[in-house]
């Protein structure tokens, strides 16, 4: 048995906030975990880059791009990104936790999907692409793995790790390494290295093809063959990949929509996500109306739409590039058409002398040697008072002390702090010693010297931090561990015991009762079922019925007497046979017994005057054992039977010995 490697991140808390509970899945660059945001009390998904890639700047930059691109998008069809940080030297992203499954798993289990369902999913994906495109973001990695279907049927697009903000040329090729998944990559990307909005449309078209057929349009022995086909071979209508009724149910306009989206000429595709969304909506309306043939819609899709948004977006000029150069003397700098209004105003503002020499009234220079007028005593006193007042305000009167409010209620604390000119910000925290609703502490703490009007953070007690023990009995070991960790508790020792009630691998008992209010990180010990305990079955054949029954029931078996049989060897009332007679069973299994009626009583046949051989045969056939004895009182041997013991007509047990008397 292969022992899985220990994941040291499970159970850890990132940045003092995000508790990693369980591993969801892992890919080539990162692992996704289910976690708990302790601050907000919600379940989140936490994506952490593999340790081996943490030192690779390309992958670290990709992580940063994903966080920034998705964080700027707010749309119900896009998985939200909440936060990012570092787990040691490994970057992580905190995302919305989606309860459901990927489109990949749905395709694997259910494709070909009905066109109505495929278009429904594709329509929601198109909405997400449209939102991204309108925010200037190209996803560049649309594929079934990055489309999540929630338990209530909602669709969410995730993984913006390859996303780029659109510029004049959004490239995806770096050092001849193509990013993205080959089965869904648009042909212009390997040709020019440039990705446009139409590149996302191509990938979405391939995904729609796969939903409708259950197959990828281009396959090969290696990725280079797949890539070659994307560049040089058209993707056929999805109906051609099916047969019979499945082929007939794909309308011609759905075929046309897929081939338009996957055209090798990006000018023939819908130019962006918003146009794709509108086209899929048209196809859905036709399908809902029961129309399977619509030549006008086919023509509209196949003719394509003039790509008004295909013109590359002008590159964003760095701020440093917009700094105006110093103008030459006597030369007026031409207006910069791309400059902002503020920049143009600054350029045209008249320059003043940096150090104009002040002149006295009338234009005469001031005489610094002129004597100052005599200052009256009153003026001196006034100046002294002003200076004293200013110094007093700066160093004494503008300051105050934080009154100690620990243990007070929130309202009383607010009153005390406001009385000395302080404002209040309230936070809540758990406390084992301070009752709920009272102040635990302040920051700055009581008696601290602070400026008036400073903001004082007051921490109000929520009482002791307690979490209910979840119900874990009957859950699988993994489910129980996740439930415990999600409840801010810790998993202790795992013992394994036999159980006749719970199947193997499920929890039999826990060290704390469900519903108990426990301190955080309370250790919970679990007992996990090994299944039913095997019991050795011992044969009871030949034993008296009562003794056999006692021996079997003491081991936990149930006993059923299924009949009686004659037996030559087993006494009356003893066990003749047992089913099963050996091996192992489990508590509660039924053991069947057959009880002996003893030997059958047989009438001794008459053999008088038969030859010895004939008499022996008759007695043997009757079921007796023959003991032939010669008793010839006259001394003349005749070789004939003169009788038996017991005599003829009497009954003797089957298998018993009958004496044959020969004269």
Contacts (Cβ under 8 Å, ≥6 apart) of 103: 121, 144, 145, 147, 148, 149, 207, 211
Q: Which of 501, 591, 589, 584 is nearest to 535 (CA)?
A: 584
Query: Using CA atoms, how far apart are residues 608 and 458, in angstroms rounded to an integer?
Result: 122
Query: Using CA atoms, how far apart are residues 207 and 107, in angstroms rounded to an integer?
Result: 10
Q: How many CA atoms lie within 13 A of 623 on its CB side?
A: 13
Grouping H, G, I as helix, E, B as strand and the rest as coil, residue 413 is helix
Query: Is position 141 annotated as part of the catalytic site?
Result: yes
- Token output for 414: 């607010």
How would DSSP label each residue in 371-392?
Answer: PPPPPPHHHHHHHHHHHHHHHH
Given the residues 58, 64, 141, 234, the one annotated as active site:
141
Query: Using CA atoms, how far apart are residues 447 and 439, in angstroms rounded to an integer?
Result: 15
* Tokens 């066990």 sit on residue: 575
Cα–chain-centroid distance for residue 99? 7
Element (H, E) at 509: strand 507-510
Instruction: For 292-325, give the secondary structure using H, E and C.
Output: CCCHHHHHHHHHCCCCCCCCCCCCCCCHHHHCCC
How would DSSP label each residue in 238-299?
Answer: GGGG--HHHHHTS-HHHHHHHHHHT-SSGGGS-SSHHHHHHHHHHHHHHHHTT----HHHHH
Q: CB 187: neighbour CB atoms within 10 A?
A: 21
- Burial code of 48-86, b = ≥16 C-beta within 10 A, e = fewer? bbeeebbeeeebbebbebbbebbbebebebbbbbbbbbe
Give catalytic residues, as residue numbers. Answer: 141
């Amino acid at each position: 048995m292969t022992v899985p490697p220990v994941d040291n991140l499970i159970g850890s808390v990132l940045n003092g906030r995000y508790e990693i509970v369980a591993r969801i899945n892992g890919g080539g660059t990162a692992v996704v975990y289910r976690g708990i945001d302790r601050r907000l009390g919600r379940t989140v998904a936490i994506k952490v880059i593999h340790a081996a890639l943490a030192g690779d700047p390309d992958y670290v930059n990709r992580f940063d791009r994903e966080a920034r691109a998705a964080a700027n998008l707010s749309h119900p069809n896009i998985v939200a990104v909440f936060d990012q940080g570092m787990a040691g030297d490994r970057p992580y992203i905190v995302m919305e936790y989606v309860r459901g499954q990927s489109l990949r798993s749905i395709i694997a289990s259910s494709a070909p999907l009905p066109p109505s369902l495929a278009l429904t999913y594709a329509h929601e994906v198109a909405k997400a692409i449209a939102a991204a495109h309108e925010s200037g973001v190209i996803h560049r990695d649309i594929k079934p793995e990055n489309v999540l279907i929630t338990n209530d049927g909602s669709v969410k697009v995730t993984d913006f790790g390859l996303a780029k903000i659109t510029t004049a040329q959004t490239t995806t090729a770096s050092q001849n390494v193509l990013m993205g998944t080959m089965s869904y990559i648009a042909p212009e990307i390997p040709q020019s290295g440039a990705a446009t909005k139409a590149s996302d449309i191509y990938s979405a078209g391939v995904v729609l093809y796969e939903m409708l057929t259950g197959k990828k349009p281009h396959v090969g022995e290696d990725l280079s063959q797949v890539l070659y086909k994307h560049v040089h071979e058209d993707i056929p209508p999805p109906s051609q990949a099916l047969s019979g009724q499945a082929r007939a149910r794909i309308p011609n306009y759905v075929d046309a929509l897929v081939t338009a989206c996957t055209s090798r000429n990006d000018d023939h595709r819908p130019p962006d996500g918003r146009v794709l969304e509108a086209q899929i909506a048209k196809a859905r309306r036709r399908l809902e109306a029961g129309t399977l043939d619509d030549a006008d819609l086919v023509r509209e899709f196949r003719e394509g739409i003039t790509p008004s948004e295909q013109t590359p977006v002008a590159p964003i000029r760095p701020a440093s590039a917009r700094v105006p150069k110093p103008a030459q003397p006597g030369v007026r700098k031409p207006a910069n058409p791309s400059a902002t209004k503020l920049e143009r105003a600054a350029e045209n503002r008249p320059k003043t002398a940096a150090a104009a020499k002040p002149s006295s009234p009338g234009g005469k220079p001031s005489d610094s040697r002129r004597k100052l007028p005599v200052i009256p005593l009153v003026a001196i006193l006034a100046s002294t008072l002003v200076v004293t007042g200013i110094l007093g305000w700066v160093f004494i009167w503008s300051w105050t002390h934080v009154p100690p409010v620990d243990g007070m209620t929130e309202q009383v604390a607010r009153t005390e702090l406001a009385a000395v000119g302080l404002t209040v910000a309230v936070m809540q925290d758990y406390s084992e010693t301070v009752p709920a609703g009272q102040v635990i502490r302040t920051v700055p703490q009581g008696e601290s010297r602070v400026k008036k009007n400073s903001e004082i953070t007051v921490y109000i007690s929520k009482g002791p931090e307690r979490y209910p023990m979840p119900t874990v009995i009957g859950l699988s070991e993994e489910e129980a561990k996740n439930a415990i960790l999600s409840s801010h508790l810790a998993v202790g020792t795992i013992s394994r015991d036999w159980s006749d009630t719970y199947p193997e691998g499920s929890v039999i008992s826990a060290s704390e009762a469900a519903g108990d209010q426990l301190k955080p990180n309370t250790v919970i010990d679990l007992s996990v079922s090994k299944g039913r305990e095997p019991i050795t079955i011992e044969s009871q054949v030949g034993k008296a019925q009562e003794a056999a029954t006692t021996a079997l029931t003491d081991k936990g078996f149930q006993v059923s007497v299924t009949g009686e049989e004659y037996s030559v060897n087993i006494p009356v009332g003893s066990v003749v046979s047992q089913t099963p007679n050996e091996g192992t069973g489990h508590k509660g299994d039924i053991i069947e017994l057959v009880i002996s009626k003893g030997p059958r009583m047989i009438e001794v046949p008459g053999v008088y005057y038969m030859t010895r051989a004939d008499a022996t045969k008759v007695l043997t056939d009757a079921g007796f054992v023959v003991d032939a004895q010669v008793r010839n009182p006259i001394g003349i041997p005749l070789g004939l039977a003169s009788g038996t013991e017991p005599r003829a007509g009497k009954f003797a047990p089957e298998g018993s010995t009958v004496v044959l008397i020969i004269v």
